[in-house]
Structure 1
């Protein structure tokens, strides 16, 4: 019976894996519908999507469970305390999310939402008081950490459902990277074809020099053999570059391959790391050797090489429906934005 149970669970897990792979392929096609016309698109994409999902699931699986975000947990949870400047900010920031409100509207039976809280992490160096042994220095350099631009975009009914959606959104980001490569190739093709047309036109003009009245009166410059050779060489190089891009009739197949290549190597295009930092109650970084009261925070940070300079911290939270502020109160608070 135990063996049968294990086999059943294995079969169910395999079916679930196949289901999310199919959904992943559909997400790719949704972003580039023409790929359906490419030969063997489903087989190629399924293989690449499965590779990406394996890597992305491993990354997201390392994230801590969703933490409750509320006025009460602001004092009890060091992370919530660090993310928000004051207890009331938790509900104010969360209630401004249109995606969170839409989630509760579309899920009337849900008492809470599991969501991704995205933030910009800012570090500043300032002068302040610092305990050094029995002495207190007032001119010590301190590093403070603050969290701004709070955004809640992705919501789910459960922790596992939320993680599944995060993985699929990350898969979409990889597809966008593949699409950017396709756009670059198309632009390169257009530039090469324009250059080729100009070079051919110039060569024709050069070859016609000395023909007609030019040869009779000597008013036109004689044809330059060296220039003609140089132009022919440039045209040949241009043709070689175009050949590498392939024929336009093959473009769709190449686009399928470009997107699949990105999906085959997700680690090169996306990364989530855990940044460990020790903060006191005022969000001042505390050295590991210090005996001052502090809490260790493990902050997930997302890095997307395709978006240079875009590093955003994020965390998984649970937000209760009852803590959602009414719209009239949100309108009143619009005149008092959070810093």
Structure 2
């Protein structure tokens, strides 16, 4: 019995350690493979990996109740009418999801899938009709909320499995943010080096006007024309280049990646939001109107450098509902 207990405890720890090591390797491969050349790179990144995973797990711990995707729900749940223009558009989204089709083509997965629905939210301002103190006015400023670019991801047989997949996905999100940040830094370094070369050429032309230089700079080049302005620009660019070089060389890259992994909340977050919308999608200040629908959702926000917002909702769909939607849309189209 003791040996079984030891195996259970240390076997689980060993499996967790292996999973963490694999997570480190995935982060390195997705950001900069050269990091693996540095001694102790796993030790440096492992604390951040754990922090990012715990943070991602905390974001999906309290997901709202799944929204049912079915023909019946489309007629009873007003939220579906706000998210999709018709049952046909809902069916089209479900049929486009290859992972959902693969899920239902695997009998062992069961008849019901839990997944995450991603949508892009757009707020548009317009002037329209509204009742103000019993008077109908046509010049009232309104915000119309619409949802498009629907995408389903990570179909799972249970909500617990979905939470686990979403946790792993959270680490993938922060990894992509890091990779994008490194790309931008590499581009900035290249741009600064190019700018300094052009400054040196222009300074040489001012000091030696008789020198033969090839001027390949565009006509709308923003560099100063006078020596004092060029020297100030050169000093500023050199200072910034020193800062960028410090984090784009290998040791600096490792420190930067470790820092970002340890502070995932600075780069992406989920925020709960409740919208009160009428049947036309117009944002309402109050939800007292019977024609008003309350929509609770999560919004994904990436860092200011990556201004991306996505609405995220857990959803539920079953084989029978998919077949019913298919039959209904076919009959509507006369097929």
- Name the CA shift for 1:285/1:245 in 2 (closer, same or farther; >3 Å): closer
CA contact (8 A) 2:246 2:252 kept: no
The equivalent of 2:301 in structure 1 is 303
1:276 deviation in Å? Answer: 0.9
The equivalent of 2:219 in structure 1 is none
**Correspondence 1:78-117 to 2 at 5 A:** 78-87=78-87, 89-105=89-105, 107-110=106-109, 111-117=111-117
1:126 deviation in Å? Answer: 5.3
The equivalent of 1:73 in structure 2 is 73
1:102 deviation in Å? Answer: 3.1
1:77 deviation in Å? Answer: 3.7
State the structure with more CA Rg: 1
- Take 1:285 and 1:239, find their aligned partners in 2: how far apart are those partners? 50
The equivalent of 1:24 in structure 2 is 23
1:48 deviation in Å? Answer: 0.6
1:318 deviation in Å? Answer: 1.3
1:145 deviation in Å? Answer: 3.5
CA contact (8 A) 1:52 1:264 kept: yes
1:28 deviation in Å? Answer: 0.9
- Take 2:235 and 2:137, find their aligned partners in 1: how far apart are those partners? 71
CA contact (8 A) 1:71 1:88 kept: no
- Take 1:325 and 1:139, find their aligned partners in 2: how far apart are those partners? 44
The equivalent of 2:258 in structure 1 is 260
Q: How high is the TM-score relative to the length of structure 1?
A: 0.70
CA contact (8 A) 2:127 2:138 kept: no
Q: 2:271 aligns with which of 263, 270, 273?
A: 273
The equivalent of 1:290 in structure 2 is 288
- Take 1:88 and 1:207, find their aligned partners in 2: how far apart are those partners? 71
- Take 2:293 and 2:234, find their aligned partners in 1: how far apart are those partners? 66
- Take 1:282 and 1:192, find their aligned partners in 2: how far apart are those partners? 50
1:275 deviation in Å? Answer: 1.4
1:306 deviation in Å? Answer: 3.5
**Correspondence 1:183-332 to 2 at 5 A:** 183-194=183-194, 243-246=242-245, 251-281=249-279, 283-288=281-286, 290-304=288-302, 305-308=304-307, 310-324=308-322
CA contact (8 A) 1:25 1:45 kept: yes
- Take 2:76 and 2:11, find their aligned partners in 1: how far apart are those partners? 39
Count of residue correspondences: 308
The equivalent of 2:52 in structure 1 is 52
- Name the CA shift for 1:232/1:294 in 2 (closer, same or farther; >3 Å): closer
The equivalent of 1:174 in structure 2 is 174
CA contact (8 A) 2:65 2:314 kept: yes
- Name the CA shift for 1:169/1:294 in 2 (closer, same or farther; >3 Å): same
- Take 1:129 and 1:242, find their aligned partners in 2: how far apart are those partners? 56
- Take 1:150 and 1:101, find their aligned partners in 2: how far apart are those partners? 16
Unaligned runs of 5+ in 1: 211-226
CA RMSD of aligned residues (A): 4.5
Aligned-partner SS, 2:107: coil
Q: How high is the TM-score relative to the length of structure 2?
A: 0.70
Greater shift in the superposed pair: 12-21 or 111-120: 12-21
Cα shift readout 1:120-174 (whole Å, capped 9, x = no counterpart): 2244545346485xx4736474654332222113322322222222232232222
CA contact (8 A) 1:299 1:315 kept: yes
